[in-house]
Copies of this chain bind each other. A is one copy, B any other.
Amino acid sequence: MPAKPTGSQRKPRNSAAPRPAPETGSEPALSLDRIVATAVDLLDADGIGGLTMRKLADRLGAGAMSLYWHVDNKEAVFDLALDAVLEYRAGQSPAGAQDWREEVLHMLEDWRASMLRHPWSVSLLPRRALGPNILCRLELLGRALSRAGVAEADLNAAIWSLWNYVMGATITRGSFERSADDLAAAQQSLAGLSERYPTIERSRLLLDSDWDGAFRDGLDFLLSGLAPKTTPT
C-alpha cells in the first residue's frame, strides 16, 4: 500500500506559492484546502445530509474516488470542515484588556455566531473530535477566566459550564430557527391541548422568545456564579 498521509499528520499546508502551473485552464488541481472549502460550501447549501463524497468530487471536477487520496474517509471531511468553520480571529476585541467579563462575553458570542453562520456545525461538533481551532478557543477562554481570578482548581468546571451553555444555546437556536413555520404550528397545536400544557401555552414559549437576550442573560448569571468577586454590569 502506498504511503498516504495518515490521519494525524496531514498534508503540508500550501505555504506561499502553491499552484504549479495548472495544466489545463479548467480546474486548479485537487488539494486538501480546496476539498475542505467546497465541503463547507456544500454543507452550507444542502445541510448535513447533502454532503456526499460523489457530489463533492463532482463539484471539484474530479473523479469520485480522487478524494480518497487526500482524505481517509467521509468522517475526516466532516472533521476538517467543522474545524475550518470555527477558526477564531482574535484581535477583534477593541483595545487592550478592558473588563474580563466583556472579553469572555465577546469570545462566547463570537463562538455562537460562528456556529449559527453554519448551522450544520453545531450538530456536528458534539460527536466529532476536538480540532485545533476548537482547542484554541478553549485555551483562550481558560486564560481569560484565569486572569479573572478563577482558582486553578475551579478552572475546568468553569470552562465546561460555559462550553455547555454555549453549545446548548446554539444548538437550540440553530435548530429552531430553521423552521419558523413548524414552530408556529407547534404552538398552534399547543393551544388545542391547553389543558395539558397551560403554562407554556400561556407564555407562548415556542413563539416570542428573545433568543439573543436569553443567551446573554443566562451567560451573565453563569459568570456571576463562576467569578463572584467582580461586580455585574
Contact = CB atoms under 8 A, between A and B. Distances in A.
A160 B127 contact: no
Interface string A164-183: 11111101101100000010
A160 B211 contact: yes
A38 interface: no
Interface string A140-170: 0011001000001001110111011111110
A222 B221 CA distance: 6
B157 A164 contact: no
Contacts of A222: 218, 221-222, 225
A222 B213 CA distance: 15
A205 B161 CA distance: 12
For A160, A174, A203, the residue with the greatest tally of chain B CB atoms inside 10 Å of its CB is A160
Q: How many copies does the complex hold?
A: 2
A208 B156 contact: yes
A197 interface: yes
A77 to B, nearest CB: 15
Which secondary structure dominates where chain A touches chain B?
Answer: helix
Of the four ranges (under 10, 10 to 19, 20 to 34, 35 or more), the interface on chain A belongs to: 35 or more
A29 interface: no
Contacts of A156: 203-205, 208-210, 214
A113 interface: no
A138 B210 CA distance: 17
Nearest to A207: B156
A175 B127 contact: yes
A135 interface: yes
Nearest to A220: B225
Nearest to A205: B156
Contacts of A127: 123, 175
A136 B193 CA distance: 11
13 contacts: A8-B189, A123-B127, A135-B197, A139-B199, A152-B203, A156-B210, A160-B169, A160-B209, A161-B218, A168-B168, A171-B171, A221-B221, A222-B222
The 7 closest A-B pairs by CB, nearest first: A221-B225, A168-B168, A161-B218, A164-B168, A167-B168, A142-B199, A164-B169
